[in-house]
Amino acid sequence: MAVIPFLILFPLVISVVMFSVRVNRIRNAIAYASCAVIMAATVALVVLWAQRGGGVQQYYVNTEAVNRVILLAEVVLMVFVTICCVRKRRWYISLLSIVPTLAIVWLETAGPARAPLAHIYLDNLAVLMCLIVGFIGCLIIVYAVGYMHGYQHYHRDIPDRRYYFFFVLFLFIGAMFGFVLSADLLWIDLFWETTSVCSFLLIGYTTLPEAETNSFRALWMNLLGGCALAAAIVLDALHTSTTDLHLLVNDCRAGNTVSLICVALIAFAALTKAAQLPFSNWLLGAMVAPTPSSALLHSATMVKAGIYILFRLSPAMTGNYCGMMISFVGGFTFLAASIMAIAQDDAKKVLAMSTISNLGLMVACAGVGRPETLWAGVFLLIFHAISKSLLFQDVGATENSLHSRDIEEMQGLLYRLPKLAIIMFIGICGMFLAPFGMLISKWAALRAAVDERNIILTFFICFGSGTTSFYWTKWLGKIITRSSKPKVKDITKKNEMLSLWIHTILMIGICALFPFLSGLFVDPLVTQIFGSYTQVIPNRILVLLVVLILFFFAVPVVSYLRSRNMAMNRKLSYMSGINTGNNDAFTGSCGQEQPLVVSNLYFKKVFARKVLMLPCEVISTAVIIVMLTMTIGGAF
């Protein structure tokens, strides 16, 4: 299938083009065209895959020449990272890149001979990831073209390096395609490191001191994961003389203890990439970059790479210490991050916290290692990718118009920026309300956790569910609260709006179609990975839920239309003082006018990141160390 190398290489070629074209208009046109091509190629991949009968397909066994190129690329990457680190006087970080790369080089040149393997592995999960990367990723790029124009216009102090920004974006997309399609761990390692470096470059885009600090934090955390991955690869190659990810999982399921160590190391690496505690700070620091990069990191690429690899490893983690580690860290992160999200009033920070929290739930699903939890995890992945990308783009666009991303400033957004507010509303609903998608996944995860008799995870999900609702509902309320502030001019560009509407339609469409999606695509996916699967939530209930969704949309709309023309005597609200007539101030006891400020609860003293992050990091680090030690110790 020639479309596979095309999908990986085309974005790489385009990224070079992006870097070399310095005329904005031309570069934008190329970006649009390439996005269309990538989406078309993704569709072509799906069609070709389906024509060949779907299921598991393997390609490209003899790839000697490509292997060399990959090795070379890895060394180039190492040199690049080293130069970056040394130039900014952080040479010690480069060690995290040099050591694993040298180990890989040694393995390929002087290591034991390895059995041939199919390097490309195409199944439902890979296809799903390709769809997410191809479509969501490209829509984000379309959005970025418009957004960056406005961004550079308003941030004169930041050097205009859009050529560089789009270079990294396309590189990222290419690396992600490579990552999800490869079966050879050596290939996966290269793409893994590439995404790490890409995120480092994106976060450092503005070159401000804060961006620099945060980008290096992201770099060392992800490279640390890369070290674990490289260690796993070397160990696996020495032990079984192959570097096939799928064989590794099978070996581990067969009870091979050394393979379990490899799995645990890779799972550890995935924790860093998925920004789980104690590695959450890098994703929070990524906020300093322009919004499209956050959208990309949070929804379609980076963090999803960690989740993807955990889903692959999921069958190998059933009922062992590794699985316990992953499900504990995931569940704990779900709860802790959702509590910390309560204290945030910056919209982007709330989104970031909620990403970490939701990823935690996915990680926990993978860690339990049951077909049912994987089903829940995959749906979480789908819904989260769409709604988070939607929300980030929407908050970015709102920020451009409103010049603030403080949630308190968003009071009455529905009346001041109606379009963006409605989209934001739908996005938030998708994140937690019944009967939208995320809730169903949470539901399935909960049932599976109970069936597994996983007490701690059950508690994490129950409490996390409460705190999650709290911070989202709070935000929803702010959007629709009446405000007397004037309307804001909506300066959202057409292409930004296009991307937003496509996301919204996708979101609602997937909500409405998900029983079909489940039966047609996700059930086979789980069966491919686990070999067997029984439904957690019966189809009958799924269909009922879809009916509920329609109902859910119908009730407010119908009653809104009915009440719109209803006669009503408008009165001013009660204020314990004389309302000055506009619902925004009252006359106080001393006769002077007091402006009214209504604020949400944030519990900043108790739930702030400053207060909670350190203890959470300590706990999760301790659990990881103990569990990893037990896994490794258990092998001997």
CB of 469 to another protein, least distance (A): 6
Q: How far is the CB of 435 from another protein (least distance, A)?
A: 7
CA atoms within 13 A of residue 497's CA, in its CB half-sphere: 12
Those residues whose C-beta lies under 8 Å from the C-beta of residue 6, and which sit 6 or more positions away, are 41
CB of 634 to another protein, least distance (A): 23
Rounded CA gap, 9 and 6, in Å? 5
* Residue nearer to another protein on the CB measure, 34 or 483: 483
For another protein, give the closer residue by CB, 89 or 453.
453
Dist CA 192 CA 306 (whole Å): 9
Q: How far is the CB of 472 from another protein (least distance, A)?
A: 9
Q: Residues of 383-395 as b/e, b for ≥16 C-beta within 10 angstroms? A: bbbbbbbbbbbbb
Q: Which two tokens stand for residue 269?
A: 């690496």
Rounded to a whole number of angstroms, the minimum distance from the CB of residue 96 to another protein is 40
Looking at the Cβ atoms of 134 and 464, the one nearer to another protein is 464
CA 274 to chain centre: 8
Tokens in use for 520? 């047609």
Instruction: For the beta carbon of residue 424, count every other beta carbon within 10 angstroms.
Output: 25
- Cα(140)–Cα(132) distance, rounded to whole angstroms? 11
CA geometry: angle at 184 spanning 297 and 169, to 5°?
Answer: 25
Q: For residues 74 and 63, what is the distance between their CA atoms, to the nearest angstrom?
A: 16
Cβ–Cβ under 8 Å, residues 535 and 451: no
Least distance from another protein to the Cβ atom of residue 333, Å: 17
Nearer to another protein, 404 or 559 (CB): 559
The nearer residue to another protein, 65 or 567, going by C-beta atoms, is: 567
Least distance between another protein and beta carbon 594 (Å):
11
HSE at residue 237, side-chain half, CA atoms within 13 A, is: 24
Minimum gap (Å) between residue 419 Cβ and another protein: 18
Smaller CB separation from another protein, 59 or 552:
552
- Of 243 and 458, the one with the shorter C-beta distance to another protein is 458
Q: From the CB of 361, what's the least distance to another protein, in Å?
A: 14
- CB 227 → another protein: shortest distance, Å? 38
Q: Which two tokens stand for residue 183?
A: 């079966």
Phi first, then psi: what are they for 346, rounded to 5°? -90, 120
Site residues (vs another protein, CB under 8 A)? 411-412, 433-435, 439, 443, 446-447, 450, 453, 455, 458-459, 462-463, 465-467, 469-470, 473-474, 476-478, 480-483, 541, 544-545, 548, 551-552, 555-556, 559-560, 562-564, 566-576, 583, 596, 598, 600-601
Of the pair 79, 541, the CB lying nearest another protein is at 541
Q: How far is the CB of 479 from another protein (least distance, A)?
A: 9
Cα separations in angstroms, 229 against 78, 103, 263, 268: 15, 11, 9, 8
Indicate the residue among 478 and 609 with the shorter CB distance to another protein: 478
As measured in angstroms, the least distance from the Cβ of 422 to another protein is 13
Task: Give, for 578, the enclosing helix (H) or strand (E).
Answer: strand 578-579
Q: How far, in Å, CA of 590 to CA of 138, rounded?
A: 59
Residue 444 beta carbon to another protein: minimum distance, rounded to whole angstroms? 10
Terminal-to-terminal C-alpha distance of the chain: 43
Amino acid identity of 136? Answer: I
Structure tokens at 176: 């992600």
Closer residue to another protein, CB minimum distance, 389 or 467:
467
**Toward another protein, which CB reaches closer, 36 or 601?**
601
Minimum separation from the CB atom of position 124 to another protein (A): 27
For 283-327, give the DSSP string.
Answer: HHHGGGS-HHHHHIIIIISHHHHHHHHHHHHGGGGTTSHHHHHHH
Nearer CB in complex with another protein: 137/360? 360
Q: Which residue has the tokens 């004389």?
A: 578
Residues with Cβ < 8 Å from 517, sequence gap 6 or more?
Answer: 382, 510
Q: C-alpha distances in angstroms, 320 versus 129, 331, 369, 532, 627?
A: 27, 16, 10, 20, 10
CB 385 within 8 A of CB 427: no
Sheet holding 585-587, edge to edge: 578-579, 585-587, 593-595
Q: 482 in the Ramachandran plot: left (φ > 0), alpha (ψ -120 to 50) or beta?
A: beta
Q: Which is nearer to another protein, 82 or 600 (CB)?
A: 600
Quick one: 208 or 578, whose CB is closer to another protein?
578
